[in-house]
Amino acid sequence: MNSNEGQKSVKIERVTMSKKICILGLGYIGMPTAAMFASNGYEIVGVDVNETVVNQLNKGEITIEEPYLGDLVKQVVSEKRLRASVTPEEADVFIIAVPTPIMDDKSADMTYVESATRMIVPYLKKGDTIILESTSPPGTVEKLMCPILETSGFDLHEDLYVAHSPERVIPGKILIELVENNRIVGGINEASSRKVMHLYESFVKGEIYLTDATTAEMCKLMENTFRDVNISLANELAIICEQMGINAWDVIEFANKHPRVFIHQPGPGVGGHCLAVDPWFIVEKFPEDTKIIRLARETNDLMPMHVFKRLKGILGTLRNKTVTVLGITYKPDIDDLRESPILQLVELLEEIEGITLKLVDPYVSEYRHLTEDVQDALTDTDMIILGVNHHEFSELDFADVKVPVLDTRNFLSKESREQLGDNYYLIGKGRQL
């Protein structure tokens, strides 16, 4: 199947266009998706187990930080096209966008997907569509969801449409990417794929590619695994270059001039709820046959410890020192702290006897050791770590800084580096031996 074949049936499907959508999970994906469908003519009921999220949404307020989302939600709530509830209700389409967290043994916690699927069963009617958007281990739709949906008494292939359509948007640009990105739709049969494709066509400007459910699940996981493995290669290179006294960032820049080479960027580790998690969902299913994927994960997970060791190497001892950390989120210009490697670094630092930590982050309002006194954090300290390259930090003036600065992102301007002179240290760059 491909999207061109699917185009043929657009007209027929449009006539019976589904109108009411129930979206389960009002987080980073469910909330923007709800707002997007609402602003494209659908009636949306957003369902969340968290009453605070539900109450705030009904007032037109959102609980996550994402550019433009607040305004859009306010508008569609005031126009009564989006409302929230703690329980599902009858609808034409059910979209499951609940979390799939990782457990201590590195397997996926599928209880939210399972309970969301069970929750909708009593509300299903013939002709309804069920879509899983949550990133899930391969086989989730076929092996976990379908048996639960069958308890409704409906024949899944005759009476319902079921598909996986993974979200692939990047935090910070969610509303843009929801519209512009290509999308994969993997149905349990061709009719499901096409039905779901037409639904997303209401706002998606990218291509929509049709496949089966398990292929769609694996595609999503491999996209993030591809990125994670490539970053681990860059991180390994960084560690080697530090020992050789050369600069990994130069190696990457020049190597990437080759038309078929694209080495990613080294850094303090890989965070967020996607790259740091999704590869494990493949490892979980095939532990014996996923050596590269596992090793990449482990390599990236060791980066906060590597940064910690470099700090110790620079200062000699960290005991009774003051350390300033600029940026604690998992990546720049967002408020998301999930799996942040810098927080893992902070936890390692907290173990040191007598240490004082000063954390600066314009996107985070609550966390231990946070300070808003940036001037003090830059001058009354023994060491500065540039953890996250928030754009606000490009305005910082390092002229008065007389202590070592460790840049984990190759972020500081040429001018600041020159001002710092020998006090400037970079992850991935060693000093000449």
Please give the positions annotated as active site.
Answer: 220, 274
- Residue number of the CB closest to ligand SAJ reads 274
Which of 282, 271, 247, 34 is CA-nearest to residue 139? 282
Which residue, among 82, 200, 201, 44, has the nearest Cα to 133 in the 3D structure? 200
In sequence order, which residues have a C-beta less than 8 Å from that of residue 281 and are 6 or more positions away?
Answer: 100, 108, 135, 136, 137, 138, 221
Least distance to ligand SAJ, CB of residue 266, Å:
7
279 binds ligand SAJ (CB under 6 A): no
Q: Which stretch binds ligand SAJ (CB under 6 A): 43-51, 166-174, 281-289, 291-299?
A: 166-174
Q: How many residues bind ligand SAJ (CB under 6 A)?
A: 20
Q: Per CB under 6 A, which of residues 172..211 are in contact with ligand SAJ? A: none
In the complex with ligand SAJ, which residue's Cβ is closer, 178 or 403?
178
| Contact with ligand SAJ (CB under 6 A) among 267, 279, 404, 428 | 267
* DSSP 3-state percent helix, strand, coil across the chain (nearest 5): 45, 15, 40
Nearer to ligand SAJ, 81 or 168 (CB): 168
Q: Residue 171 CB, nearest distance to ligand SAJ (Å)?
A: 5
Of residues 194, 198, 264, 306, which one binds ligand SAJ by CB under 6 A?
264
Residues 37, 315: Cα–Cα separation, whole Å: 53
C-alpha to C-alpha distances, 313 to 36, 84, 187, 266, nearest whole angstrom: 50, 53, 54, 19
Measured CA distances, 242 to 262, 301, 409 (Å): 21, 18, 14
Shortest Å distance, C-beta 159 to ligand SAJ:
31
Task: Specify the residue, 161 or 425, whose C-beta has the smaller distance to ligand SAJ.
Answer: 425
Candidate ranges 52-60, 198-206, 260-268, 411-419; the one touching ligand SAJ (CB under 6 A): 260-268
Nearest residue (CB) to ligand SAJ, 198 versus 264 = 264
Over the range 225-260, which residues count as b (16 or more CB within 10 Å of their CB) and which as e? bebbbebbbbbbbbbebbeeebbbbebbeeeeeeee
Question: Binding of ligand SAJ at residue 135 (CB under 6 A)?
Answer: yes
Neighbours of 353 (CB within 10 A): 8
Cα 69 from Cα 36, distance rounded (Å): 9
Q: Which of 323, 322, 315, 317 is nearest to 342 (CA)?
A: 323
| Backbone torsions φ then ψ of 375, nearest 5 degrees | -60, -45
DSSP letter at 124 equals -
Among 76-84, 164-172, 237-245, 310-318, which window interacts with ligand SAJ (CB under 6 A)?
Answer: 164-172
Q: Which of residues 324-363 bind ligand SAJ (CB under 6 A)?
A: 330-331
274 binds ligand SAJ (CB under 6 A): yes
Near ligand SAJ by CB under 6 A: residue from 6, 171, 187, 428: 171
Six-digit token string for 318: 């960290």
Sorted by sequence, the CB contacts under 8 Å of residue 180 that are 6+ apart come out as 205, 206
Tell me the one-letter amino acid at 103: M
- To ligand SAJ, the closest distance from the beta carbon of 280 in angstroms equals 13
280 binds ligand SAJ (CB under 6 A): no
Q: Which is nearer to ligand SAJ, 126 or 391 (CB)?
A: 391
User: Closest CB to ligand SAJ among 192 and 224?
Assistant: 224
> Of 6, 432, 431, nearest to 210 (Cα)?
6
Residues found in the chain: 433
Residue 351 Cβ, how far from ligand SAJ at the closest point, in Å? 22
Tell me the closest approach of the beta carbon of residue 348 to ligand SAJ, in angstroms.
17
CB nearer to ligand SAJ: pick between 53 and 343: 343
271 part of the interface to ligand SAJ, by CB under 6 A: yes
Q: Which is nearer to ligand SAJ, 90 or 223 (CB)?
A: 223
Q: Site mask, ligand SAJ, residues 221-250, x = CB under 6 A?
A: --xx--x---x-------------------
End-to-end CA distance of the chain: 58
Give the interface with ligand SAJ as residue ranges (CB under 6 A).
135, 167-171, 223-224, 227, 231, 264-265, 267, 270-272, 274-275, 330-331
